[in-house]
Amino acid sequence: MTTSAVLRVSNISKNYHVPSPILSKLRPGALRRESLTALDGIDLELRAGEILALVGESGSGKSTLAKILVGSVEASAGQLDYRGLPMPVRRGRDATRRIQMVFQDPYSSLNPRITVGAILAELLKLHKIVPRNEVRAESIRLLNLVGMQEEALDAYPSQFSGGQRQRIAIARALAVRPDVLIADEPVSALDVSVQATILELFTSLRVELGLSILFVAHNLAVVQHLSQRVAVMYLGRIVEVAETAELFANPRHPYTQALIGSIPRMSESSVNLELVLEGEPPSPYDIPSGCRFHPRCPAAVTACREIDPSLTAVAADHQSACLLANELPAFYPVATS
């Protein structure tokens, strides 16, 4: 287990300091909101050659964690190891190369003023991936890898559809031959029929190139199809990690159960008519005491208000941060009728 981890995150936290408005500082006794906790003690490992899905509601810290992994945001505390060695806070060219990112919106993440060929050539030259006279051949190879043709090299991003742009963005991330791809909701801006082709591409990258991929998503049906393991986030914490099949068949955290219960279903027999979760996630300025899920949790007991549970193993390769993880009622996410 230890040897196969490509990226390991230990106890990473991220706080943002938000100065309160000047007028409320003058008012005596005013509520002070100065620190926002985006991530609070995250432990996670990305294993070699796996797709690890990171799911959670907006504001749970998924994107912040993704940004810390690629190095565009600095963690407030904690450590990031790459293949067993600590990642420097200021990454050099080589460290940057190893971990690459694919963004959510392919309409805003590609430079509209330069051709696709120039986008790829820029990286190939800067990182000296291939000799200068082979840049064009390498660019064509990259485009073929993501299912596009040579003609695309001389076109501008605006000439492509959303799905094609996302392919170009993936080719750009692959240009520097990374080991790890961090994909932040790469299919949520795409249509269903196009989404399937991009998911297929991610699977082939994992299988053929042996890439390790962190896939940030909110669509659980997509996650179930694509990933080997799933980590569920809630309000800056990871509340459950397990292999995909295990997590969906045997969720051991009430929040995961609620997420699964909320998935819109395609078959009539499994439409869930129960309102599974009340309320909305609390503000990250003001995190509840004890277990941070207790105000919305249907199973909460008195102890949940006082004890802040940490991630503990509930089965082989399955961790949950719930005091009652082993006492939760049986859960049938898929209708058995």
Partner 1 sequence: MTTPAPLLSVNNLSLGVVRSGHRPTVIVDDVSFTVAKGERFGIVGESGSGKSLTLRAIAGLLPAGIDALSGSVTYEGRDLFSTSSAARRKLMGPEIAMVFQEPMTALNPVVRVGEQIAEGPRRHLGLSRAAAMALAIEMMAKTGIPDPAKRARAFPHELSGGLRQRIMIAMALSCRPKLLLCDEPTTALDVTVQHQVLRLLEQLCDDFGAALIFVTHDLAVVNQTCDNLAVMYAGHIVESGRVKDVFRDPRHPYTRGLLDSAPDFDQPDRALVPIPGFPPNLADRPSGCAFAPRCIHAQPGCLVASPALESLAPGRSVACIESDSIFQGVPA
Binding residues for partner 1, rule: CB under 8 A, are 57-58, 161, 191-197, 199-200, 218-222, 224-225, 245, 248, 258-259, 261-268, 270-273, 275-280, 334-335
Closest distance of CB 153 from partner 1, Å: 19
Min separation Cβ 265 and partner 1, Å: 6
Strands 318-320 and 5-17: unpaired
Nearer to partner 1, 120 or 260 (CB): 260
Tell the smallest beta-carbon distance from residue 1 to partner 1 (Å).
Answer: 25
Q: How far apart are CA 225 and CA 173, in angstroms?
A: 23
Q: Rounded to whole angstroms, how far apart are CA atoms 318 and 336?
A: 24
d(CA 65, CA 42): 9
Closer to partner 1 by Cβ: residue 11 or 159: 159
Alpha helices in the chain (DSSP H): 22-26, 62-70, 93-98, 116-126, 135-145, 162-174, 192-209, 220-226, 244-249, 254-262, 302-306
Q: Residue 318 pairs with which residues in a beta bridge?
A: 242, 315
CB 30 within 8 A of CB 92: no
Q: Coil, strand or helix: which one is 224?
A: helix
Q: Which tokens go with 175?
A: 């240009």
For partner 1, the closer CB: 162 or 290: 162
Which residue lies nearer to partner 1 by CB, 233 or 324? 233
CB of 333 to partner 1, least distance (A): 8
Alpha-carbon separation of residue 276 from 25, 254, 257, 260, 280 (angstroms) = 40, 10, 9, 10, 12
Q: Least distance in Å: CB of 165 to partner 1? A: 13
- The CB-of-53 to partner 1 minimum distance in angstroms stands at 12
Q: How far is the CB of 88 from partner 1 (least distance, A)?
A: 35
177 versus 218: smaller Cβ distance to partner 1: 218
Q: Is 236 exposed, middle or buried (0-12, 13-18, 19+ CB in 10 A)?
A: buried
For partner 1, the closer CB: 103 or 248: 248
| Nearest residue (CB) to partner 1, 103 versus 293 | 293
The token pair at 154 is: 């001389």
Q: What is the DSSP letter of 270?
A: G
